[in-house]
Amino acid sequence: MADDLDLTPAPSRPEASRRRALPTLVTLLVVAAIVGVLVKTLGDATLVFHEVDAAVELRTELGDGRFRVVGTPLPGLVETVVEGGSAVVFTLCSAGALADVVHVGDPAELLQPGVPVVLQGTWTAGSVPGLAGLATPADDGWHLRTDHMVVKHDNDYRVEQGRQADIESCSATG
């Protein structure tokens, strides 16, 4: 009977510890990753989206710092060239306020009037190239110079042939 039995002594603790080293390391890495994500998320003030009215109101405070702004492009998108690169110029509206935008680089594929976008950039003083092509520009001597654009879609999934989109009216006061 003794021949059939595996009576090898149990492995010593150091060997068992080595076997558990990888999961322990993974656990520590996961904890480090969670801390990293939280720090990155909570520590970056530019991640808040300002409505256009707040961005206009905070223009002095924001200075030349980068921030994010959310709004709906009004009809009239002008493609142009700024400092040798492609750009698109339009007027952004939210909360009853307007801001002219010069977005440098590739715009979002779904950039269209009526589809809300989140832009990241800075306030810039000076004239807006292509201003004449905009239907209802803010034209207040300032524009948003942005280089990061993402689309913020709505939660409406009612599909009917030819249905008009429910777009929040933007009766801007300028």
Binding site for other proteins (CB under 8 A): 1-2, 5, 7-9, 16, 20, 23-24, 26-27, 30-31, 33-34, 37-38, 40-41, 44, 46-51, 70, 75, 108-115, 118, 149-159, 162-165, 167
d(CA 144, CA 127): 11
The nearest distance, CB 141 to other proteins, in angstroms, is 26
Nearer to other proteins by Cβ, of 78 and 151: the residue is: 151
Beta bridge partners of 73: 92
In a 13 Å sphere around the CA of 125, the CA atoms on its Cβ side amount to 5
Q: What is the DSSP-derived secondary structure letter of residue 45? A: G
140 versus 149: smaller Cβ distance to other proteins: 149
CA angle 40, 45, 47 (to 5 degrees): 75
Cβ-based nearer residue to other proteins, 72 or 100 = 72
∠ CA 64-79-92, nearest 5°, is 50
Q: Could you tell me which residues come within 8 angstroms of residue 3 by beta carbon, excluding any fewer than 6 positions away?
A: none
Q: Which is nearer to other proteins, 113 or 140 (CB)?
A: 113
Q: How far is the CB of 36 from other proteins (least distance, A)?
A: 10
What's the closest the beta carbon of residue 112 comes to other proteins, in angstroms?
5
Nearest distance, CB of residue 125 and other proteins, angstroms = 26
Measured CA to CA, the distance from residue 89 to residue 79 in angstroms comes to 6
Closest approach of Cβ 4 to other proteins, in Å?
Answer: 9
Give 112 or 122: the residue with its C-beta nearer to other proteins. Answer: 112
Q: Three-class SS string for 49-74?
A: EEEHHHHHHCHHHHCCCCEEEEEEEC
